[in-house]
Amino acid sequence: MIEWIEILEILAVLMAGMSVVLALGVLVAFARRMLPQGKPKVKLIQEKKIEKETKTMSKEAKEGVTFNDIFMFMIAVPLVLLWVGFAGFVIHTGLNNSAVLENIEAYTTLIAILGGPALLIIKDALDVWKQEQAEKTAFYKVKAQAVIDFNDAAQKQAQMVEAKAQDQEHKMESKK
């Protein structure tokens, strides 16, 4: 039977392996973008390639996916989830297994190593969220002020129309 400590060690090795594979994938993607593509010799092939690149560029422009988006979803999100999950797992197994408590320094060191970048990512994500909320608040303030100004102008116009109508009615009555 595999003990909890061995499970935690296997989990740590698997996560390290996944991070190496992910880093290699990112490097390969950048290398493909940086290396020049061979030019085709036939003009028809060149025209098709230009059309394909134009479609790809317009599709990318619509979606707006950037390197930072890819970084967040491929590295930052799994890192934060791993940190939280591993910390919860260590706490849970530490309460149920005394062998984990004997090696708690090693586990807290691993949690601290994962926690440093994870906390920075969480802080940056919260800063972005605060900025979005501030922009929404400012937008709604402007929108509310526009509605207030519109209602005020509509009320003044209605009062003006009513006053003109009353003046016209008084003129008509005085002519009789």
pLDDT beyond 70 at 59: no
Residue pointed to by tokens 């790809």 = 56
Q: Is 100 exposed, middle or buried (0-12, 13-18, 19+ CB in 10 A)?
A: buried
**Tally of structural domains, the chain:** 1
3-state SS assignment for residue 39 = coil
Indicate the pLDDT class of residue 132, thresholds 50, 70 and 90: confident
Q: Is 90 exposed, middle or buried (0-12, 13-18, 19+ CB in 10 A)?
A: buried
State which residues form the domain around 11: 4-130
Indicate the pLDDT class of residue 60, thresholds 50, 70 and 90: very low
Kindly state whether residue 59 falls inside one of the protein's structural domains.
yes
Kindly state whether residue 153 falls inside one of the protein's structural domains.
no
Output 93 or 150, whichever has higher pLDDT: 150
pLDDT, average across residues 48-60: 55
